């Protein structure tokens, strides 16, 4: 079960359990961590989605 994750739509970490919520708040208060995750999202994820999307989803 995942307890904490980076929500790219919101641009911050979110938690699913009390432990996850605690860590999400801690990560969200760390500006360096947020900057790194947002940079990874923009520089890697969004740039490569076109390469992986056709291979990970079935055609409609």
pLDDT tens by residue, 30-56: 999 999 988 888 777 767 777 776 666
Q: Is the pLDDT of residue 5 over 60?
A: yes
- Count CB-CB contacts under 10 A for residue 41: 14
Domain count, the chain: 1
Rounded Cα distance between 19 and 58, Å, is: 36
Residue 15 sits in a domain whose CATH number is 3.10.320.10
Query: What tokens were used for 26?
Result: 């801690």
pTM of the model: 0.68
Which residues make beta-bridge pairs with 13? 6
Q: What is the dihedral of CA 16, 8, 31, 43, to 10 degrees?
A: 140
Q: Is the pLDDT of residue 29 over 90?
A: yes
14, 17, 35, 54 from 9: Cα distances, Å: 11, 20, 15, 21
> Which structural domain range is residue 10 located in?
4-56
Report the pLDDT value the prediction gives residue 56, as an integer from 0 to 100: 62
């Amino acid at each position: 079960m995942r307890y904490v994750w980076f929500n790219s739509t919101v641009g911050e970490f979110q938690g699913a359990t009390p432990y996850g919520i605690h860590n999400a708040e801690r990560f969200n208060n760390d500006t360096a961590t947020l900057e790194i995750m947002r940079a990874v999202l923009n520089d890697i994820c969004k740039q490569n989605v076109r390469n992986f999307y056709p291979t990970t989803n079935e055609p409609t």
